[in-house]
Structure 1
Amino acid sequence: MTTARMIRITEFGSPDAMRLETAELPPPGPGEAQVRQTAVGFNYIDVYQRKGVYPLPLPTGLGHEAAGVVEAVGPEVADLEVGDRVAYMNAGLGAYADIRNVPAAKLVKIPAEVTDEQAASLLFKGLTAQYLLKKTHAVQPGDMVLVHAAAGGVGQILCRWAKALGAEVVGTAGSAEKCAIARAAGCDVAIDYTDPDWPDRLLKETGGRKARVVYDSVGRDTFLKSLDCAAPFGLVVVYGAASGPAPAIEPELLNKKGNLFLTRPSVFPHNADPATFRANAADLFDAIAAGMVKVDIGRRFPLAEAAKAHRAAESRATTGAILLLP
């Protein structure tokens, strides 16, 4: 038996609800691999689940993605070996750990061109960007795309990748400093969305041109104004709620705003089966190797300081990705 350290919660609440625990980890069972984790990715959904916005059965672990090295494989695992570098992003809650057993079908091998920290910080966010840019709307050269929270982890990936695909990229962020980061990540125009008149400023900067697709992860504070920034027959994609859930609207409003389309997708259905997940991950890893997708790691925290990582994220005091190091 191996001793594992993990973060768990027994009640929903503040970051202080997270506790570092130890437990004996059995050998991997049939179809499982035991992974010694080297880097754990943070995603804002972790905050929602800790707070109970997305309720989970308690007690529970937290975290959706990590990278590490295979230390053992269970029966019926034919495609992994001890020593393989692997990553995952949807293998059941509990990524906030130093070692764990993971279904082998949920693991993808990390190519030599990608580091463990890149994989852990980019897999969830990168696969989110991948489906948004390739499937929810297949971005074409010349498209104008609007990215909210463009200085954040997913936002920066979206901006860089969309720019590499030939799009004109405009973005919003929560401060002048973050707007500068968004421009460095590929935004042709970046506007502070804390200014109540940000849509007017954005349209002035674009000469009145509106976006073919709007990627909105902010939700409540931006959603209604996102509708004003979409071109006729454009698409508004709500894929997060950093400021709170987007308000409900009457369908007729989409007609009045320009025959718009509205969708609320998720990364998990786009990677629901092993073959699709691994194909999408290969596309992402190729983009990383080609320099189309990069990661700016804003902060690194020891696993035991997961509460500090959550506080930093909720205060919006960070830019780029957050990593937990076991």
Structure 2
Amino acid sequence: MVKAIRITETGAPEVMKWVDVELGEPGPGEVLIRHHACGLNYIDVYFRSGYYAQPLPGGIGMEGAGVIEKVGPDVTHVKVGDRVAYAGRPTGAYAEARIMPADILVKLPDSISFEQGAAMMLQGLTVQYLLNDSYKVQKGDTVLFHAIAGGVGLIACQWLKAIGATVIGTVGSPEKAEIAKAYGCDHVILYREEDFVKRVKEITNGKGVPVAYDAVGKDTFMQTLDCVSPRGMAVSFGGASGSPPLLDLGILASKGSLKVTRPTVATYVLNRSLLEPMAADLFDKVSSGKVKIEIKQRYALKDAVEAHRDLEGRKTTGSTILLP
């Protein structure tokens, strides 16, 4: 028996329960992984609250790092004893150990700790595709990134500076503004106190930005479009404040032939031909020191309810992990 967080219904953080779980043997294409650390991400809130659907009763959590203890038939790219990390479905990472599909696992380099691995896989892979595939950021680009002091935001800020981009970031408090500045954000906007569209236009001399990244959603997305220069790209990759409004495509024409995309990490991690080079790029950025993974909050896994309350209450910054 192992301990794990399970939900039998969707709702507030309190629906998560710390329970005993019986693990069987890994089947074809599966492994048993013993977690050393698990990641906390806003997508976990979406599954817990019912915003994203999943079969119930079920697990929760999409990111972890640990050691493989058992390997089922037809698994060839990892073996017992390997240090591994992952991000993606199926949910169930909030567990001391779990049986899971092996196809989303990647080997963790010795230079990266289990805690770093659990703190960076989902957020780091998200940043990798945002800056390389959703839009290919070039040296000299000016980029708008909302929630720059969050887990994805701080990784993105460092990665963008390594590319040679100018970073405009929005935050919700003066304390988060100081964190963003410490990570190299060039222009920090307190979006609750300032008109971020006006500030972006001031910073760019009226041109706007070629790309804007928005995981806030409902509260910001339509204004985000006003920050993008003609023929530029708006990337919606989350909805912390709720889903963005339904979009009349004619608006994109009137604002200058804009492009909009809504990527998700699942599209990438379920394709090993994409996952492996993305993970290698992420590991290289971290191992070289260009991107530092600094864990700002640690909670015991059994205290996942408290962690979710703090995450939804905007009390967290940067990366957060849960420790079994």
TM range (shorter): over 0.9
The answer to whether the Cα contact below 8 Å between 1:149 and 1:155 also exists between their aligned partners in 2 is: yes
Which has the higher mean CA deviation after the structures are superposed, 30-39 or 148-157?
30-39
Written as runs of structure 1 = structure 2, the 5 A alignment for 1:137-286 is 137-195=135-193, 197-286=195-284
Q: Given that residues 103 and 270 in structure 2 are in contact (C-alpha distance below 8 angstroms), is that contact kept between their aligned partners in structure 1?
A: no
- The offset of 1:115, in angstroms, is 0.9
Separation of aligned partners in 2, 1:177 and 1:202: 21
The structural deviation recorded for 1:54 is 1.2
52, 63, 66: which is aligned to 1:65? 63
Could you report, residue by residue, the CA deviation over 1:238-279 in whole angstroms, capped at 9, with x for unpaired residues?
Answer: 101111111123211112212211111111112222232122
Q: For 1:35-184, what aligned pairs fall within 5 Å after superposition?
A: 35-184=33-182
Q: How far apart are the structure 2 equivalents of 1:28 and 1:112?
A: 26
Alpha-carbon deviation of 1:91? 4.5
Q: Give 2:287's match in structure 1, choosing from 286, 289, 299.
A: 289
Name the SS for the 2:2 alignment partner: strand
Contact 1:40 1:121 in 2 (8 A): yes
Deviations 1:192-240 (A, max 9, x none): 1112522213332443342110000101111111111111111000101
Gaps of 5+ in 2: none
> Which amino acid in 1 is paired with 2:84?
V
Matched residue SS, 1:248: coil
Matched pairs, number: 324
CA contact 1:91–1:102 (8 Å) conserved in 2: no
Partner of 1:319 in structure 2? 317
Q: What secondary structure, in the 3-state scheme, does the structure 2 residue paired with 1:268 have?
A: helix
SS in 2 for 1:171: strand
Deviations 1:56-95 (A, max 9, x none): 2211110111000111222333332322100111241100
Deviation beyond 4 Å, 4+ runs, structure 1: none
Q: Aligned equivalents of 2:281 and 2:315: distance in 1?
A: 31
Structure 1: how far apart are the matches of 2:141 and 2:302? 44
Shifted more, 141-150 versus 87-96: the winner is 87-96
| TM-score, structure 2 normalization | 0.96
Residue of structure 2 equivalent to 1:33: 31
| Counterparts of 2:261 and 2:55, CA distance in 1 | 28
Q: Distance in 2 between matches of 1:37 and 1:261?
A: 40
Fraction of identical pairs, as percent: 49
- Give, as a single letter, the amino acid of the residue that structure 1 aligns with 2:77: D
Write out per-residue CA displacement over residues 142-165 of structure 1, whole angstroms, 9 at most, x where no aligned residue.
111110000000011111101111
Contact 1:7 1:18 in 2 (8 A): yes
Give the C-alpha shift of residue 298 in structure 1: 1.8
Contact 2:104–2:269, Cα closer than 8 Å, also in 1: no
CA RMSD between the two structures:
1.3
Please tell me the residue identity of whatever aligns with 1:12. T
Task: Specify the SS of the correspondent of 2:233.
Answer: strand
